[in-house]
Amino acid sequence: MKSAAGERNVHGAVDLASLLKLDFVGNEPLYVQITRHLQSLIQSGELPEGSTLPSERRLAEMVGVSRITAQHSYNELRRRGVISSHGRRGSIVRRPENRILSPMNQLRGFTQEMVELGKTPSSRVVKREVTRNHQVATIFGLPSTTPLLYLERIRYADDVPLSNEKAWYNLSVAPELAEAEVTGSVYEQLARLGHPLSYCDQVIDAILPGNDDCAIFGIDPSAPCILIKRQSFSHAEQMLEYVEGTFRGDVYSYRMTLQV
Instruction: Spell out the alpha helix ranges (H) of 117-232.
Output: 134-140, 186-192, 211-217
Report CA 127 to chain centroid distance, whole Å: 21
CB of 84 within 8 A of CB of 43? Answer: no
| Res 228: pLDDT | 95
Radius of gyration of the chain (CA): 22
Q: What are all long-range contacts of 137-140, with beta carbons under 8 Å and residues at least 24 apart? A: 139/231, 139/239, 139/242, 140/168, 140/170, 140/239, 140/242
Are the C-beta atoms of residues 226 and 257 closer than 8 Å to each other? Answer: no
Q: How far is CA 22 from CA 2, 34, 58, 142, in A?
A: 20, 8, 16, 49
Which residue type is seen at 212?
D
In contact, 212 and 205? CB cutoff 8 Å: no
pLDDT number for residue 96: 53
- Could you read off the pLDDT tens digit of each residue along the chain, which spans 260 residues? 333 344 443 333 457 878 888 999 888 899 999 998 898 888 777 888 888 898 899 999 999 999 999 999 998 888 777 887 766 667 888 765 556 767 777 788 899 888 887 889 999 999 999 999 999 999 999 999 999 999 999 999 888 889 999 999 999 999 999 999 998 899 999 999 999 999 999 999 999 999 999 888 877 787 789 999 999 999 999 999 999 999 988 777 777 777 77
What is the reported pTM?
Answer: 0.64
Q: How far apart are CA 14 and CA 178, in angstroms?
A: 55
**For position 11, what pLDDT does the model report?**
35
pLDDT at 107: 85
